């Protein structure tokens, strides 16, 4: 077995907080998803009358 790496026993979320770059990327994915769902809703309303 490999040696136990640092921080794997009780890592906690705090020790892996994402960097600013990744926070921006996650925000972008969230906005993209919200827009996709909104477009689907509008698509549905437009064609379903």
Binding site for other proteins (CB under 8 A): 1-2, 4-5, 7-13, 16-18, 22, 25-26, 29-30, 32-33, 36-37, 40-41, 43-44, 46-49
Closest separation between CB of residue 5 and other proteins, Å? 5
Q: Which two tokens stand for residue 43?
A: 């698509």
Closest separation between CB of residue 26 and other proteins, Å? 5
Cα R_g (the chain), whole angstroms: 20
Q: Are residues 26 and 18 in contact, defined by beta-carbon separation less than 8 angstroms?
A: yes
Please work out, in degrees rounded to the nearest 5, the angle formed at the alpha carbon of residue 33 by the alpha carbons of 31 and 38. Answer: 95
Closest separation between CB of residue 20 and other proteins, Å? 13
């Amino acid at each position: 077995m490999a040696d136990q790496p640092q921080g794997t026993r009780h890592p906690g979320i705090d020790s892996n907080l994402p960097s600013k770059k990744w926070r921006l990327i996650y925000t972008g994915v969230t906005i993209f998803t919200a827009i996709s769902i909104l477009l689907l809703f509008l698509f549905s309303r437009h064609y379903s009358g």
